[in-house]
Chain A
Amino acid sequence: EPEVTQTPSHQVTQMGQEVILRCVPISNHLYFYWYRQILGQKVEFLVSFYNNEISEKSEIFDDQFSVERPDGSNFTLKIRSTKLEDSAMYFCASRESWGADTQYFGPGTRLTVL
């Protein structure tokens, strides 16, 4: 069964450093998402992406964040200058089409900012 994959599973970085989290969505899906879950808190929407551009973003997704689909398979989230409060689990998700309502999630990347 097709699945969303994410790498790395765990990333440790120093405050102020740039990180890139990578995702490979399900191959025929058209809509892509990033969510985050700070430890012990609810899962929060960050950004949605369709047709090579951002379609929606939350207040969390400020200028320090960017997303990109550099080729036909990868979908990346970049944090330009990490802060301690960026420590969280980051989930990528994909959805097949406009008419589909189910998002399929990857296993997540745990980001630890020291």
Chain B
Amino acid sequence: GNSVTQMEGPVTLSEEAFLTINCTYTATGYPSLFWYVQYPGEGLQLLLKATKADDKGSNKGFEATYRKETTSFHLEKGSVQVSDSAVYFCALSDQGSARQLTFGSGTQLTVLP
């Protein structure tokens, strides 16, 4: 079955530091890949996505590139802010009709001023 393995947290960084959160996946076929973010006390918000190999998703300074050869979708940001403190989830959906999401375990990011 499908699975997503995500970098263990928590991660604590100083403001303006570089962020990488690793994500690798196992799936048959050609899944779509997502990063969702969950701010304290809130639901899941789509941060970015990529639907085919070599696509780069980007939003709010975050980027992730769909690497089929390494089955990875690592999240990066060049300069984090305190407001980026949240839990980040990597997820995939397969090409079946239901397209349910399979999530990684989540990575708690804390950015200190």
A-side residues, CB < 8 A to B, are 31, 33, 35, 41-45, 48, 50, 55-56, 58, 91, 93, 95, 98, 101-108
Contacts and interface: CB of A to CB of B under 8 A. Distances in A.
Interface in B41-56: 42-46, 49, 51
Interface stretch (B16-24, B65-73, B76-84, B98-106): B98-106
Interface string B13-43: 0000000000000000000101010000011
Contacts of B44: 43, 91, 93, 105
Interface residues of B, number: 24
The winner among B49, B51, B91, B99 for most chain A CB atoms within 10 A is B99
7 contacts: A45-B102, A56-B100, A91-B44, A95-B99, A101-B93, A103-B101, A105-B44
Interface of B: 32, 34, 36, 42-46, 49, 51, 89, 91, 93, 96-106
